[in-house]
Amino acid sequence: LGRIVAQVVVMGAGIVSKAFVQAYQQAVHNARSGNTGAMAAKTVVRKNQMPKQQAREILNFPTSGAAPSSEEIQKQFTKYFEANDPAKGGSFYLQSKIFRAKEALE
């Protein structure tokens, strides 16, 4: 029984040490390539941002032409956000889409 426990401990230590070495090597590689956590997070945020054309459609702006001003964006945002208030029978999902559209256009 003691021998089996010792083998399990040795195997577990080997697995943990291998994982640690691989993680360290990946961290060194990322540091050398400039792929730091902040840069990776920025990329993820950018990927998840709503496309401007979709944002314009949601806030009822023409999809082509000049970009709407901050005041116009705020006016449309307020109009649609309040109209979709769940307390007034609106949709939280639509409110979140409207909010993300405003973010994308700002």
Which residue pairs from 66-69 have beta carbons closer than 8 angstroms and sit at least 24 positions apart in sequence? Answer: 67/105, 68/105
User: Are 85 and 40 spatial neighbours (Cβ–Cβ below 8 Å)?
Assistant: no
Give the per-residue pLDDT at 86. Answer: 93
Block means of pLDDT (10 residues each) for the chain, 106 residues, are 89 90 86 69 64 93 89 96 94 95 92
Whether the model clears a pTM of 0.85, i.e. scores above it, the answer is no
Closest CA to 86 of 95, 77, 75: 95
Query: What ranges do the domains of the chain cover?
Result: 2-47, 52-105
The token pair at 17 is 């040490």
Q: Rounded to whole angstroms, what are the CA distances from 23 to 13, 18, 27, 29, 42?
A: 15, 9, 6, 10, 22
Domain 52-105's class?
A: mainly alpha
